[in-house]
Chain A
């Protein structure tokens, strides 16, 4: 009834002529209409098969948040500063050589970053370097975190299973510290230098994101 009342009492033929009351009521109307509509989160693992992935022949990235929300992301065409992957919900992850450098559409996004992480093949045992992340925080100000990092290449390789396909990978564990705290990222890198799986820190609010490169295309 409220929705009907609001619908009847606010209308216009030009957005410039909408009073702020009309705009607010439209928002309220939208909120009322969305009440009771449950947000459905589909578990991609249950509906996507290896056969389907291979038949698509396009680069695909699986990503999952600690909340369990997951999805498949497709690669934006053309080369950018990094490789930007977009999900069905419009959120993007931008990775550079498999390392997360930015996100969008995820709330408290990583707006930008810089890292001096060596090339995977250059890391023999341990390497140290610096890494910086910036996040959009309160009052629309960017908060930067500057980490000192140490990456360690584990001695033994590990076979991992991604959507029923086994990949032999080398494990790299990256430990970074700043004045606020420490984070630990883990990368599973195959013989081609492709990060097949990773657990990477996003933010205090979201936590660690799991990524899996599910297709078998050449990098």
Chain B
């Protein structure tokens, strides 16, 4: 065992000298690894229970270096990687959406001395999927299959079947690959036995990209591949692999001297990893992996102060005969609740308030409940809590104050005594602050322009509003850019053959620089009936469109399904985003269905007419975590053919919502959204502000309450 540091040093030296290696050196490396296995056997057994994190490859999914492995990420894991070498810059975003299925989106800049940004020859977007068929057991390797670049231009188009097995600290991976992964030493496709279609790999006619194209998955000859991954400890590991990929697409700028790739990996903590790689016998590369796990907040369950404990009510010796409103107000104010009204009648309390602190409605309800339970008189049996958001009544929870007493520190049935109910209340809500305003910075970004892959603008945003009464307000915002490179965009003509409802965004970016009206509208919003909400608005609705319209939403609080309908008559705004309008006018509207499939997934569908006059459907699906994280994506298919739509074939995007309380460990309602929309075209374009009500009420509904029920008494 004394040899270990010495041998580790040898390995580090070996890693540094990979550059000078040839094929003949491979046997030495394998000998070294075998030697390591042998000399670490005893410690390996001692640490057999120690779990080494899944190695992630250059495509963001489980893998060695460029090759995939049979493993999978933990459910819910989110991974961002950045890989750089002289002729490649690749950024990936991967997500383990289901326990056995992971997805990856990659954006790669290829080549040198090209005409695109940073001298690249081209920039390419690709989608991958990695399906784990089974996990490793004592005798059986973990086994996965996957598709690379199945949705895009097919630059990396390939498929694989791969298995991985651990032997203490060493993991051995072997598999077969098709497409790009069938480059050398190919063999006849075994699936020919099933169908002759597998004999020849068809040409993937990807059209405008962004679509599945013509299916050629697992077609043609295959090659075998293999590799090793060795973990010295939880921080340091090495990987090597022999890839069958001939790199023919990169032949003009990569000198492929060797089919072996090597990587030395260092894990700083459970969220951050860096690697130095030697690829193709000629390229030195670096890679960084950022892996925040939504399920694992940095500050655990949160470090907020304790709620007030509930008391035993109706005690013979200590009866409470009056409600202490002053202390109720004081305690709720300390938790940043704004009380709108409070009244007490016989055995019942009714309280209306705005929650300005807790993102979790369950936690907010628990705080209010324990406060009312403790400081209201024994005679009070029930309390109705009316939640408001921006003066809109969004939910009501009815509390049985006697039943909840034992639940605060209980184990089971913690929600007993709390019931979401549909109520309407005709209460005139005071609004002391009629004129409101806010001044702050804004940030805008555009992605995936080959000349300017990332462009950013920051400036000042002055928001203002005047509340005419509880239901009607005028609101808007003015913007002035301060620092921008959006104006460096030289691709002024989108080439779109559809009405240019969104693809002229570059003209808005350029002409809005002197300062512009971001939006300015008159809006009426109200709860019309116990489960029915309505909104009407008119004015400069958003940067590109002005008009008049509205929406209604039917959503019983305990029902999973919500149904909405929105309709707008709009006219395109001028590029300077002031008061003038362009000629293009249209009507747009959608029937929308919102449905939480289960505690983990939300589904939204919008069917109707889009801004360019096309008809179709938008489907959005998102993985929702109990702590407010949301990772989702949408796709819109309309009657606009892919070739008419242009680059990307159809409108789609992926997004991540990150709750700020997850980061800071204290209650906070803010969220940050990272949205990746590969391309902004005109087909399937919608008003971004056409549907707002569901966003208002969603967090207060019983399904969301149940998702966060663990925080009820936190």
Q: List chain A positions with a Cβ less than 8 A from chain B.
A: 9-25, 27, 76, 78-82, 84, 86, 89-92, 94, 101-102, 104-109, 111-114, 132, 134-142, 144, 205
Contact = CB atoms under 8 A, between A and B. Distances in A.
Interface majority SS on A: helix, strand, loop or mixed? mixed
B360 interface: yes
Nearest to B389: A16
A24 B409 contact: no
B5 interface: no
Contact of A112 (B405, B410, B441, B465): B410
* Max chain A C-beta neighbours (<10 A), residue from B309, B442, B626: B309
Given A9-B439, A113-B409, A136-B711, 18 more contacts: A11-B439, A12-B439, A13-B436, A16-B436, A17-B464, A19-B438, A21-B443, A21-B461, A23-B660, A79-B312, A79-B318, A81-B406, A94-B409, A134-B411, A138-B297, A138-B627, A142-B414, A144-B411
A1 to B, nearest CB: 16
Interface string B201-235: 00000000000000000000000000000000000
Given A114-B411, A140-B627, A16 B437 contact: no
Interface residues of B, number: 65
B118 to A, nearest CB: 29
Nearest to A11: B439
A111 B714 contact: yes
Contact of B465 (A10, A17, A101, A144): A17
A9 B460 contact: yes
Given A79-B318, A112-B410, A142-B710, A137 B438 contact: no
Nearest to A107: B300
* Smallest CB-CB A-B distances: 4 pairs: A12-B438, A104-B306, A90-B305, A14-B436
Nearest to B625: A139
B670 A27 contact: yes
B427 interface: no
Nearest to A205: B300
Contacts of A144: 411
A19 B296 contact: no
A135 B438 CA distance: 40
B436 A109 contact: no
Given A15-B356, A91-B306, A142-B710, A82 B436 contact: no
Nearest to A94: B409
B299 interface: yes
A99 to B, nearest CB: 12
Contacts of A25: 440-441
A109 B411 contact: no
Contacts of B626: 139-141
Contacts of A138: 295-297, 627
Given A24-B670, A80-B311, A144-B411, A18 B460 contact: no
A76 B409 CA distance: 15
* Max chain A C-beta neighbours (<10 A), residue from B300, B414, B627, B668: B300
* Max chain A C-beta neighbours (<10 A), residue from B306, B308, B433, B670: B306
Nearest to B671: A20
A10 B440 CA distance: 4
Given A21-B461, A112-B414, A105 B305 contact: yes
A23 B442 CA distance: 12
Contacts of B295: 138-139
